[in-house]
Amino acid sequence: MSSTLVHGFLYGANLPLRWFRLPLLLATVGLSGVCIAVGIQAIRGANHLEKLLSELASQDNVVIKYDMHDIRILSDILTAVAILLAVSALSFALMLSVDWIKSLRRPSTTPTSMKEKMPSIVVPVSTRSLHLQSIILAFLSIWLLALLIPTTIIVRTKSAHVSVFLDSPMESVTPSQLMPDPIYWDYPFLRCLAAAPWFSFIFAFPATIITIIAAHFAPKAQRLDRHTMMDKEQFGS
C-alpha cells in the first residue's frame, strides 16, 4: 500500500515529479524576474553615470571617457538570458499546471481521493516534452552560470577605464574633482548585478536536475499508469 502511494505521489497522472517540478519552475520564474530587473538597473545606471559625466565635462571644458564596455556587454547578455529563462520556465510551469488540473478533473470510476493515484493512460504534453524541457533548461542554466562567474569577478575586482582630456594643453585639472570613482564595487547597482542573479541560478539548477530525472522516469510513469488501468479493468470485469 505504501509503495503504491509513493508511486502515485512521484509518477501519478503521468506527471512525474510534479510536486517538485512546479515549485522549482515557479521559483525560477520569480528569481529570473529579479535578475532581469537587476540587469536593466545596471544598464540604466551606466547610462545615467555617463550622462552625468558628459554634463560635468561640458561645464568644465573637458572630455571625460568612462569606459564600462565590459560590464555593459555582460549586463545586456545576462538580461537576455534571464528573459529566456523566465519565459521558458513560465511556459513549462503553465503546461504542467494545465495538465495537472486536467488530471484532477478527468472522469474516473474511482473515488475522488483516488483520482491521482489511479490516473488514465493519456500522456500529457508536459510529459511528452520533458526531454526538450531538460535540454532547454540545462542550456540556459549553463549559459547563466558562464555569465555569472565573470560578472562577479569583474565587479568585485575590476575598475572602469577613465580618461580626462583638456580642451587646452595650458589648462590644469584636479583629478579628484572631475574623475569619478572607477571601482565597480563602489556602485550599489553593480553590486546587485554581481550578487542577485546567483539566486536565479540556485533555483534554475535544481529545476534542471529534477526535469532531467523526470524525463528519465517518464516511461516508468507511463508503464505504471498502463498497469493501473489494466488492474482496474480486471477488477471491473
- pTM (2 d.p.): 0.78
Domain boundaries, the chain: 2-236
Residues of the chain with pLDDT under 50: 1, 109-120, 170, 172, 174-176, 224, 226-237
Radius of gyration of the chain (CA): 27
Side-chain-side CA neighbours of 118 within 13 Å: the count stands at: 16
Phi then psi dihedrals of residue 66, to 5 deg: -115, 100
Cα–Cα distance for residue pair 14/100, rounded to 1 Å: 9
Residue-wise pLDDT tens digits, 7-65: 565 666 688 888 899 999 999 999 999 999 999 999 998 888 877 776 666 655 666 67
* Alpha carbon 109 to its chain's center: 41
3-state secondary structure of 179: coil
